[in-house]
Amino acid sequence: MSPYHHSSFPAELYGGRLTIDLNAIAANWSDLNNRLIGETECAAAIKADAYGTGQDKVAPCLFEAGCRTFFTAVPTEAVELRRILPEATIYVLDGLLPGTAEHFLDQNIRPVLGSLEELEEWAGVCRSAGKNLDAAVHVDTGIHRLGLSPEEFRTSMQDKDLLGPFKPPLIMSHLACGSVPDHPMNREQLDRFRELTAPFPSIPKSLANSAGILMGPEYHFDLVRPGIALYGGQAIETAPNPMKPVAKVEARIMIVRDVPEGDTIGYGAKQTARRPLRNAVIAAGYADGMLRRASSSDDQPGGFGMIGGHKTPILGRISMDMITLDVTDVPEHLLQRGAFVEMLGPNVAAAEIAAYAETIDYEYLTSLGRRFERVYGPLS
């Protein structure tokens, strides 16, 4: 794919650049799809603007790769996705908010029903329409967020007033601890899901997110719902990440300056120069998704960037619009004003940099690039 720009202004006006590789996203989906056994369908979670990578570009890319079922979080995401993909099957994970049923019908979108109130409302909608209208049923197997309790699920699935007007095309649940495969709760949820859904062999079932796919076929059932793995994130904490990176953030150097030993850097004077330093100030900050919690201080190190193969630690606090990097050991020719520093990408993994901010790559990716130039093309 040749790079193309998806931004409003000339490139030189941007302090940073976010490059997104659609081919890598498609390759990640294909890799996961190829891991599946039997008739399991590989869907795609495309919520939060495709984890910050741009739903309008990512959705057609995944559809072309072979994906036909998509999961959004909220109705507005689903309505926009329907405009982009008129033939796709689209689910809304947050379910049926009050007053939204007509929009689901108009747009041919499926809510994931996770409460008795939602089931009752959807059954009434089906009766009024005089036909079966597709909606998934969500049963909670232990995460205690959305979903019918096991008792509510057993009762409602036998209640002809609730399930008589429609037959759900999907029963689903969600893993709480999939990122740690050895956690005993994974097996508990798997066993509970099998037991709850066994009386309904003709209804397709879904339990696995990205981590569930990587944990093996017993978690796959009829449909899997990868999210973070599609976007190059690390689904399993305890194993190497097999997915291709899909995004790269680069920020421009604004100034390089000398810092005497003993002086402090940044807001709050939290970082002291232990030796004479050179620092580079780059045009990115927490307003661009460079999380402030990845700041550095005398007490603990922060995140880092990469310049021409050289690791450049963050110095002091990340501010709204700027980050200061230690470039003392970087060759002069790499430190020209306007040169780019990689702050995320093939050399700076999202999971690694997010760890400095005491968070996960999900938060990091979905926060990126509000002010960056956005380019779609290869990361190299």
Catalytic annotation, residues: 47, 267
- Alpha carbons 140 and 149: distance in angstroms, whole number: 5
Q: Which long-range contacts (CB under 8 A, 24 or more apart) does 61-64 make?
A: 61/22, 61/23, 61/25, 61/26, 62/25, 62/26, 62/29, 62/230, 63/87, 63/88, 64/26
- Alpha carbons 135 and 44: distance in angstroms, whole number: 17
SS3 226: coil
Per-residue DSSP letters for 292-325? GGG---SSS---EEEETTEEEEB-S---SS-EEE
Amino acid at 318: I
Q: State both tokens at 46.
A: 């495309």
Distance set, CA 348 to CA 67, 207, 338, 352 (Å) = 29, 31, 20, 7
- The owner of tokens 């994974």 is 186
- Alpha carbons 154 and 157: distance in angstroms, whole number: 6
- Alpha carbons 75 and 66: distance in angstroms, whole number: 23
**DSSP designation for 289:** T
SS3 41: strand
How many residues in the chain?
A: 380
